[in-house]
Amino acid sequence: MPEPADSAEPPACADAPVILGDVPGSFPRSVLAERHPALIRKVRDAFPYGPERQRALDALLKNSAEGVLEPLGARATDRERWEVWGGREYFGRSWFDVPFLWSESYFYRRLLDAVGYFVPGPWQGIDPFRPFKLAELDTPEADAELAALDELADRPVAEREAALLLGSLWGNRADLGFRLGAAGDGTATESPLVVDEGEALRSLFTGGTLCLVADNSGRELIPDLLLIDHLLRGRRVERAVLHVKPYPYYVSDATTADVIDALRRLTAASGAAGASGHRLWSAMTDGRLTVRAHPFSCAPLPYADMPDDLRREFAEADVTVMKGDLNYRRLVGDRRYPATTPFARTTAYFPGPVAALRTLKSDVVVGLDPRTETALVADRDQRWRTGGTHALIQVRR
């Protein structure tokens, strides 16, 4: 198994400590100690797993709360990969005492073990999060969001593009994303965009290749696909590569199966949404839109450690757009940076132009204007970092 490619660590990392889950009352601690046990119970109730799988889920529940990180089983095809990714250093230590990004990611890999996702048998390949993903696509809210496209279709092209970009940013808050109008300068607490470099991002759509690294499935993936359709249709990009996860991850992260579900939801719709769905389907069949599921997409590591083949792919793109909170943590590094640390500094290693579209749902944030940070902290203490109420669009050319 090859080692990760040698690459320069982002310069900003030298004095920014890695985030751990060992601080009582912290957001990472709450994820490991509260969110993960609740998720195990939710998955257990979502399927009629037999006694063997129930015992495995119960064992994971106990181990993740009280035990130490353990290697994958001897027959796991990716056992060596996880050892290279950090297991040799972290196995035998508490889930709370290793980098939060690592322990959180490894939890999902062990959850798939518990439900039999990778082993021959009746549960092989069954996504344990699929019921939750599909439920999002069949709601009145989803219908309303798709219907809003009909009104948007009559607006000038530039306005449509700005609205679709905001729709992709906000995901399942797309009703906010499609609302046209000034977003503010990002320096006041009443603005949900703490950094807005949308114009700079749009200036990079010059007819080349777009890599879009997806985040969540369902109602958050559909706006990503709608943005891709708009860019392809208007020749703002000639080709789009949609990066998804190779297996179920972080509850709702998109896989190839989720892309197909989203496309089917679009093609079954009427009006502008249905037309977009059919264009996207055709774009996949003729190669203008391709789906990529690289193993590193599920790595518990920052993109600074990406392997050479993925580095080359991003280097060949005219722009790479990283969607969502997890990709942001991996892009800049899951570290306790001062919030005013320049985004360009933390992404200096990236091999081409890169942008982040992200709602804030974890502690990590960089690139804030000092006035913005001061106003946010004064108004909301630190809750603005993790509550999903604020967002950002950041670009490094």
Given the structure tokens 């799988």, which residue do they identify? 53
- Per-residue pLDDT of 197-250, as tens digits, reads 999 999 999 999 999 999 999 999 999 999 999 999 999 999 999 999 999 999
d(CA 5, CA 10): 14
What is the pLDDT, as a whole number, of residue 232?
A: 98
Q: 179: pLDDT confidence band, cut at 50, 70 and 90?
A: very low
Q: What is the C-alpha radius of gyration for the chain, rounded to an integer number of angstroms?
A: 21
- Per-residue pLDDT of 252-262, as tens digits, reads 999 999 999 99
| Alpha-carbon distance values, 327 to 60, 189, 349 (Å) | 26, 25, 15
Q: Please compute the mean of the pLDDT values over residues 261-289 and round it to a whole number.
A: 97
- Per-residue pLDDT of 11-42, as tens digits, reads 556 689 999 999 999 999 999 999 999 999 99
| Own/partner pairs, 163-167, CB within 8 angstroms, 24+ separation | 164/223, 164/226, 164/227, 164/230, 165/198, 165/201, 165/202, 165/227, 165/357, 165/393, 166/198, 167/223, 167/226, 167/227
What is the pLDDT, as a whole number, of residue 381?
A: 73
Model confidence, pTM: 0.93
Given the structure tokens 């920014």, which residue do they identify? 16
Q: At 65, is the secondary structure helix, strand, or coil?
A: helix
- Per-residue pLDDT of 350-393, as tens digits, reads 999 999 999 999 999 999 999 999 999 988 777 899 989 999 99
- Per-residue pLDDT of 113-137, as tens digits, reads 999 999 999 999 999 999 999 999 9
pLDDT over 50 at 180, yes or no: no
What is the pLDDT, as a whole number, of residue 174?
A: 42
pLDDT over 80 at 323, yes or no: yes
Quote the percentage of the chain above a pLDDT of 90: 86
DSSP 261-302: HHHHHHHTS-HHHHHHHHHHHHHHHHTSEEEE--GGGG-SS-
